[in-house]
Amino acid sequence: MSASDLPAREAMEFDVVIVGAGPAGLAAAIRLKQLSPETSVVVVEKGSEVGAHILSGAVIDPIGLDRLIPEWRGEETLARTAVSVDRFYVLGSSGALRLPNLLMPPLMSNHGNFIVSLGDVCRYLARKAEALGVEIYPGFAAAEVLFENDAVAGIATGDMGVAKDGHHKASFTRGMELRAKYTFFAEGARGSLSKTLIERFGLAQNRQPQKYGIGLKELWQVAPEQFRSGLVQHTMGWPLGNRTGGGSFVYHFGDNLVAVGFVVHLNYQNPYLSPFEEFQRFKMHPLVRDTFGGGKRICYGARAITEGGWQSVPKLAFAGGALIGCAAGFMNVPRIKGSHNAMLSGMLAAEHAAAALAEGRAHDELTDYDAAWRGSPIGRDLWRVRNVKPLWSALGTAVGVALGAADMWTNTLGFSLLGTLPHGKPDFATLKPAADCRPIAYPKPDGKLTFDRLSSVYLSNTNHEEDQPVHLIVRDRALQKASEHDVYGGPSARYCPAGVYEWIEQGGQLRYVINAQNCVHCKTCDIKDPNQNINWVPPEGGGGPNYPNM
């Protein structure tokens, strides 16, 4: 059935439509209502509920919350643990060197920060937003951007009830059009609609390529004797080699909970590398392995993060809309923090949209928002760390991070000897042919401390309607075989943290199997496929992981 044969979509009009109920989208919604209670605001969220697709560390810098909801510290409804101990280590295969806090640039300090579940923070923000009159629709994915006279005029949610082969099932329901004077895209790292808008409006022109990492995380309930409330511990080095960037976090919070996670920079070169297996191996290090003895793993998930920072943030505004949060890439890589900037950017965009609406404007470009961020606290946060990632990529962990730390120190004093360094290649272009690399032998999981992918995905509570079109679109199957498989050795089978991709030999034929129902929406395939041949589009709303508190 062609689009013109379909029944018309129902349309609703709002002042502002927001795509994504993460910290950026919800902060924007709240700020709009604080400034002007009569502004109509709607938020759509592809997760089955607010927080279901939120995965973070998370140690949060409270600057965003303090500015948005000054009374939050006095409220008990937002669970948090104040950071009490802050440690940073460089790991070797069996030893660990602790870096004295005094050597660390002050911006790296976590004192005054809080350990939270970012999913819980989003649920708290959603309650605040709804109390102010914001409409929130979880379970609806924004699948299409609506345009009028080349200006964004809102979004359409995806149709529901389409079968794998494209026919309409009895449950078929047409998507809805949510039309608005301004539309904010708050989809987080590598947003699917944001990607098309960056392309269409040339928003990344004259910018460095956006850079990414994949972050994997487990939540553990640990034995009481292993729990150190408020401990925040970061590492870099082992198990990654010097030429592969990344590191770990371990946060003790709440009631004997430990969030343990591992980030691998997606400009890695060896196609045999598996971020998931590196994470499992990291947990075996003597510095951390005892933490999990007698404990129970209760949740698992993964999500991409942006790493380009200052140099890579695209133009934020275009006719009728704006990018906010990690959809634009406001993550501070050395601090491993982005939620504070996500909130601040949502508030900043809201303030400029509220001013425009008050002047009777609509569907034009919020140029003042774009002009304001570099001089705001977001810009100050990203400016001081702008050379860490380029140095790390160019010189490796040992030298690159040491020079990066020196540059952070000089920036703290108000200058840099290096100017602003470029990032170089986009992440999809960094893999070497498999023939030039050594396969990596990872240890077998023991089922107690280390696990396989499928039992891990089970703990992400991922669920998709199985009879629907595959949402991981391989544009050219022949190219996937000739290049992804034959040249690069099939890296998707290793970088995907959910075991979605498999190359299977059957009856002398090689098949590329896509287990789309396992996808945890991390977006790594959309970023790292060496030919940009995989396009992630939203599946039916409500599908995907169901993180209770990640």
- Binds ligand SF4 by CB under 6 A, chosen from 248, 536, 541, 549: 536
Q: Which does 520 bind (CB under 5 to 8 A by kind): ligand FAD, ligand SF4, none?
A: ligand SF4
Q: The tokens of 284 are what?
A: 């075996």
| Binding positions for ligand SF4, 437-476, rule CB under 6 A | 472
In sign, the C-alpha dihedral spanning 186, 187, 193, 199 is: positive
Q: Which is nearer to ligand SF4, 6 or 513 (CB)?
A: 513
Q: Which is nearer to ligand FAD, 12 or 479 (CB)?
A: 12
Q: According to the 3-state scheme, what is the secondary structure of 43-103?
A: EEECCCCCCCCCCCCCEECCHHHHHHCHHHHHCCCCCCEECCEEEEEEECCCCEEECCHHH
Cα 407 to Cα 50, 425, 454: the distances in Å are 39, 22, 42
Dihedral of CA atoms 59, 183, 12, 42 in degrees, nearest 10, equals 20
Beta-strand pair 534-536/472-474: antiparallel
Q: Of the ranges 45-53, 291-299, 372-380, 526-534, which one interacts with ligand FAD (CB under 6 A)?
A: 45-53
- Binds ligand FAD by CB under 6 A, chosen from 23, 105, 314, 390: 23
Q: Which does 498 bind (CB under 5 to 8 A by kind): ligand SF4, ligand FAD, none?
A: ligand SF4
| Binding positions for ligand SF4, 204-233, rule CB under 6 A | none
With vertex at residue 506, the alpha carbon angle to CA 522 and CA 536, rounded to the nearest 5 degrees, is 20
Q: Of the ranges 51-59, 222-230, 470-478, 505-513, which one interacts with ligand FAD (CB under 6 A)?
A: 51-59
Q: Give the number of residues in contact with ligand FAD, rule: CB under 6 A.
A: 44
- Binds ligand SF4 by CB under 6 A, chosen from 401, 496, 537, 550: 496
Binding pattern for the stretch 225-264 against ligand FAD, x by CB under 6 A and - elsewhere: ------------------------------------x---
Q: Which is nearer to ligand FAD, 129 or 403 (CB)?
A: 129
Binding pattern for the stretch 278-317 against ligand FAD, x by CB under 6 A and - elsewhere: -------------------------x-x------------
Half-sphere exposure of 338 (CA within 13 A, CB side): 30
Kindly state whether residue 268 participates in binding ligand SF4, applying the rule CB under 6 A. no
End-to-end CA distance of the chain: 40
CB-based contact 151:363 (threshold 8 Å): yes
- Binds ligand SF4 by CB under 6 A, chosen from 50, 350, 525, 550: 525
Assess whether the previous peptide bond of 239 is cis (omega < 30° from 0).
yes
Interacting residues with ligand SF4 (CB under 6 A): 472, 496-498, 500, 519-525, 536
